[in-house]
Structure 1
Amino acid sequence: MSLQEALHKLASFRTNNTRDSQETFEKGLIVLRSAGPKTLGEEGWAFLEQLMLASVDVGRLDIADQCLKQLNDKFPVSPRVDVLRGILMEATQSSSTVLAYYDELLRINPSNAAIWKRRISVLRRLGKVEKAVEDLNEYLDTFYTDVEGWLELADIHSSCNQYTHALQALSHALLLTPQNPFTFLQFAETAYSSGDIPLALKMFLVVIDMNEGEDEDAIPMGISVRAWWGTKLCTRQLVVSSASHTSHSHTPVAKNIKLIDELATERVLTAYSGEQGIQARNLVSNWMSGR
């Protein structure tokens, strides 16, 4: 591959926020050995950061260290370089050393959001869940609009089967991104896991409504398939005995639950009517009929 082709591919990865670490590393080496970042102008520094992260991912810490040194020479007092140094330390140093490094950076600059998030990720990997939750709550008190932070908090609570707390965190994410169907889907699936089937059904239907531009006769794709599956899982239980499913959120069961169940059945089966899904259609059909 030529130098220009490698540069174009790497630029495309940055534009699309793609982190294909192995390919990034291979193409980055071509650039590093053929031209060097200084010949690329301002784009060279973004390239070095990209290559450094990919190098850490694939275990080439020597290349990562080389990239970091060049970035540090250019930006000796940079919070962004501090974060990159921390990422490399996570791969080479003890967790206690890394946490001490992050603590010192936060003492100097408590508003460094990236350092907060790196520190929380280290705590979570160490299994210090309570401390991770404590720090994440403190972080979100300052950076309330960080949707990823709320999703991380919800994920931590869900991993501990604390679904009520997870739903509370997801509620904040919904307020911040009311146009994102994936957040609603996560809320619906968490509500289902918590046992609040009426609430889960309501939110699965919201996801479907958010994709209302989809042709009614078209085969459901992507997130719509997952939402229809969730709807079917809910209606299958509610049709049998809606009275036995207590909603902690006091969400009422839809009066037309049988019609929703029939529609969900049709939509799920339609999703498996294409060439790629036809082999699984019989299995899905048998499950639908309880066989």
Structure 2
Amino acid sequence: MAHANLLTPPSRIPPQTALQLSQKAPLVLSSAPTSSLAWPLSLLFSRETPETWAIHENLLLAALRTGDDAAARQILDRLTTRFGADNERMVALKGMYEEALAKDDKDLEKVFNDYEKVLKDDPTNMSVRKRRIAVLKSLGRTADAITALTVLVENSPTDAEAWAELSELYASTGAWGQAIFCLEEVLLIMPNAWSAHAQVATLHYLSSSTSVPALTLALRHFARAVELNDSYLRGYYGLKLVSQKLLPLLSESSGSKRNAEEDDIAPPKPQSVQKLEEIATAKLGEIVRQYSASKQGQSGYYEAEIIAARELLDRDGRAER
């Protein structure tokens, strides 16, 4: 379990961590970071720092995540007082608050219409544009969300977050080729993002888990992911899973005629794949043992990840027996 740090929360927050973060609301709200004195004396006696408002925003997101609407409202009011209701970021945060309070699709449609009004006055507000797409997803309007994201990346081609979101939407519809293309754009922007390498590997695997070319590409990206982060559990899990799928297919296809697609993607040698599978097995075993020996919350891994890794290793053990 990740540490509950309001300044730098983890990118993927499980419910328990979100709850730990939101429980810090009374402490943060008990002290006012800004002075009540008139300007310019307020500048001299203010306790605010750049980190102050990052903490407030992260606390707002955690409170919305856990349903603490009262604390979220107080934090939002404090942020609005500090930065103004017309601030681009504040408009988006207010919209997120209203999204969280929406009880049905009718309420979400109202939020969507409010976003439309904002964008009509200021088409360059990217924060609100992204929130509009989030509402489209919540309403189940996947095709409209894809169209909106396509327009967004056309106007902001270096927005890795938007490309990743578009990839996820394409994947949800089974459009594997488009999903992979979008994640390759992410890698052009962030070539050392190991999580993106793991995700594109996953998409190759899901697109065809019986295709040697697809599995070869998945293997390459999982290998790159663990090369960039040698403690990346998901990378080793994928590396082991893909290796196990690929080895028998390489044996079957060794004497068969290769098609045009396979000519473009040279398959790895079985010995190399076997070695990668052994490395992944050893590393997963090491991670599981370290997790079991560590104190709760000190390993840096989520319990669900460890359970999945243990089950994968156990399947090997049962197969040997």
- Superposed CA deviations along residues 110-145 of structure 1, whole A, max 9, x for unmatched, are 122211111111111211010000000001111111
Partners of 1:37 and 1:45 within 8 A in 2 = no
Q: Structure 1 residue 158 and structure 2 residue 171: aligned?
A: yes
- Counterparts of 1:201-280 in structure 2 under 5 Å? 201-209=216-224, 211-212=226-227, 223-241=235-253, 243=256, 251-254=264-267, 257-271=269-283, 273-274=285-286, 276=289
Instruction: Please show how residues 2-13 of structure 1 align to structure 2 within 5 Å.
Output: 12-13=5-6
Q: Distance in 2 between matches of 1:157 and 1:116?
A: 19
Q: Note if contact 1:133-1:153 (Cα within 8 Å) is conserved in structure 2.
A: yes
How far apart in 2 are the matches of 1:129 and 1:208?
Answer: 32
Q: Which has the higher contact order (CA 8 A, sep 6+)?
A: 2
Q: Secondary structure at the match of 1:14?
A: coil
* 60-69 vs 153-162, greater mean Cα deviation: 60-69
Query: 2:240 touches 2:281 (CA, 8 Å); kept in 1?
Result: no
Q: Given the two structures, how large is their TM-score scaled by the length of structure 1? A: 0.80
Please tell me the residue identity of whatever aligns with 1:72: T
- Which range moved further: 37-46 or 139-148? 37-46
Partner of 2:293: none
1:29 to 26, 30, 33: 26
In structure 2, do the counterparts of structure 1 residues 61 and 32 end up closer, same or farther at CA, with 3 Å as the change threshold? Answer: same
Q: Quote the residue 2:99 is aligned against.
A: 90
Q: Distance in 1 between matches of 2:171 and 2:24?
A: 38
Summarize deviations over 1:172-203 as a string: whole Å, max 9, x none. Answer: 11211222232222212211211243133134
2:299 is equivalent to residue 284 of structure 1: no
| Match of residue 64 from structure 1 | 72
Letter in 2 for 1:63: A
User: Aligned with 2:124: secondary structure?
Assistant: coil
**Match of 2:42?**
none
| Contact 1:79–1:112, Cα closer than 8 Å, also in 2 | yes
Q: CA RMSD, aligned part only?
A: 3.2
Per the TM alignment, residue 286 of structure 1 is displaced from its structure 2 partner at its CA by 4.4
3-state SS of paired residue (1:38): coil
Residue 13 of structure 1 aligns to a residue whose secondary structure is coil
User: What is the CA–CA distance in structure 2 between the aligned matches of 1:212 and 1:136, rounded to whole Å?
Assistant: 31
Q: How does 1:138-217 map to 2 (within 5 A)?
A: 138-195=151-208, 196-209=211-224, 211-212=226-227
Q: For 1:49-72, what per-residue CA distance to the aligned partner results, in whole angstroms no more than 9, with x for missing partners?
A: 333222212212122122222222
Distance 1:96 1:264, change over 3 A: same
Q: Which position in structure 1 is the counterpart of 2:48?
A: 41
Percent identical across equivalent pairs?
23
- Asked if 1:129 corresponds to 2:126, the answer is no
The 1:116–1:84 alpha-carbon spacing in structure 2 relative to 1, beyond 3 Å, is same
User: Which stretch shifts more, 107-116 or 195-204?
Assistant: 195-204
Residues 1:171 and 1:268: Cα distance change in structure 2 (over 3 Å):
closer
Distance between the aligned counterparts of 1:36 and 1:268, measured in 2? 50
Which stretch of structure 1 is more off in the superposition, 48-57 or 143-152? 48-57
Residues 184 and 204 of structure 1 are in contact (CA less than 8 Å); yes or no, is this contact kept in structure 2?
Answer: no
Deviation at 1:212, TM superposition (A): 4.5
Q: Secondary structure at the match of 1:127?
A: coil
TM-score by length of 2: 0.73
Counterpart-to-counterpart distance in 1, 2:146 and 2:312: 41
Shift in CA distance, 244/121, structure 1 to aligned 2, threshold 3 Å: farther
**Conserved? CA contact 2:222–2:238, under 8 Å:** no
CA change 1:125–1:280 in 2 (3 A) is closer
* Higher mean C-alpha displacement, 55-64 vs 277-286: 277-286
